[in-house]
């Protein structure tokens, strides 16, 4: 996910700074902070520390001291969908926000400062899928990948790839690599010659209660065990563990309904 790497205590890959256009962070806004932290703490082994006060009540999830994700308190008067939001790195969030508007998207929040951590904005692509933009200062983003409990991949589930790939290409400068298949509508977004995210056209296969949206995958050591644990912790299994071209994977939801996937990638 980034160009700068170093040794990690968990035998994963650590990061120092993410290149522009590369997914660099994931966050979740919830109603019950304590319950959510207990769920992900048990499932992924996360520990937590307070997040930037400028963003309201929030916490950063840590693995072996490395930041991996953020969890925030949703204001009680808001009843938005509970969903993991991926952030793309930017050297200038103001300029990127303007590009979002120019390319047909919407800026819903910001740009605004998060103390000395950095600067952010929340956007919607032309189909309505929500994503974040992060300009790093003290907080560089996800600090480690490749081990249990770390973000492994993000994928946009949308009606068709053609309607949205030009937007992300225009905003973030992504290269594109279509999957050549008569019955599989899929494009990977490329940065620096590497795949950094996927766009999956599923036609009418989108859930009835949700429009186009980004799905976050988290690395786990044992997908079947993780899916079972999700249920034990009060969550739900939406698609049972199965083998894919990239490893074993399952799609689940946490107790508040935030959907994500767990994967053990083939390496």
Q: Over the stretch 83-142, which tens digit does the pLDDT of each residue have?
A: 999 999 999 999 999 999 999 999 999 999 988 899 999 999 999 999 999 999 988 899
Identify the burial level of 154 via C-beta atoms within 10 angstroms of its C-beta, where 0-12 means exposed, 13-18 middle and 19 or more buried.
Answer: buried
pLDDT at 267: 60
Report the pLDDT averaged over residues 17-27. Answer: 93
When the pLDDT of each residue in the chain is averaged and rounded to a whole number, the result is 91
* % of the chain with per-residue pLDDT over 70: 93
Predicted confidence (pLDDT) at residue 266 exceeds the cutoff of 80: no
Whole-angstrom distance, CA of residue 138 vs CA of residue 5: 17
Please name the residues in contact with 43: beta carbons below 8 A apart, sequence gap of 6 or more.
Answer: 149, 226, 229, 230, 233
Please name the residues in contact with 31: beta carbons below 8 A apart, sequence gap of 6 or more.
Answer: 73, 74, 76, 82, 256
Predicted confidence (pLDDT) at residue 1 exceeds the cutoff of 50: no
Predicted confidence (pLDDT) at residue 235 exceeds the cutoff of 80: yes
Confidence of residue 14 (pLDDT cuts 50, 70, 90): low
Structure tokens at 184: 């599989």
The number of helices, as runs of H, and strands, as runs of E, in the chain is: 4, 19
Confidence of residue 153 (pLDDT cuts 50, 70, 90): very high
Give φ, ψ of 59 to 5 degrees: -145, 150
Of the ranges 10-19, 166-175, 196-205, which one carries the lowest mean pLDDT score? Answer: 10-19
β strands within 90-212, DSSP E: 106-113, 118-124, 130-136, 144-145, 151-158, 175-178, 185-191, 194-201
């Amino acid at each position: 996910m980034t160009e700068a790497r170093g040794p990690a205590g968990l035998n994963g890959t650590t990061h120092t700074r993410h290149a522009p256009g590369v997914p660099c962070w994931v966050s979740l806004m919830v109603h019950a902070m304590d319950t959510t932290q207990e769920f992900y703490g048990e499932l992924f082994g996360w520990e937590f520390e307070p997040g930037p006060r400028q963003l309201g009540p929030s916490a950063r999830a840590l693995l072996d001291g490395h930041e991996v994700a953020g969890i925030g308190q949703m204001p009680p008067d808001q009843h938005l969908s509970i969903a993991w939001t991926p952030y793309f790195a930017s050297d200038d969030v103001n300029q990127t926000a303007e590009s979002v508007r120019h390319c047909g998207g919407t800026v819903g929040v910001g740009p605004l400062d998060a103390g000395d951590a950095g600067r952010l904005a929340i956007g919607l692509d032309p189909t309505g899928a929500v994503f974040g933009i992060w300009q790093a200062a003290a907080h560089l983003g996800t600090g480690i990948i490749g081990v249990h409990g770390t973000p492994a991949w993000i994928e946009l589930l949308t009606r068709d790839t053609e309607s949205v790939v030009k937007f992300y290409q225009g905003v973030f400068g992504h290269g594109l690599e279509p999957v050549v298949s008569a019955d599989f509508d899929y494009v990977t977004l490329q940065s620096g010659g590497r795949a950094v995210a996927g766009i999956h056209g599923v036609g009418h296969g989108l859930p009835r209660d949700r429009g186009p949206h980004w799905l976050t995958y988290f690395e786990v050591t044992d997908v079947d065990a993780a899916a079972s644990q999700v249920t034990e912790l009060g969550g739900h299994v939406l698609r049972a563990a199965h083998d894919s071209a990239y490893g074993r994977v399952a799609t689940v939801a946490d107790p508040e309904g935030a959907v994500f996937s767990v994967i053990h990638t083939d390496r």
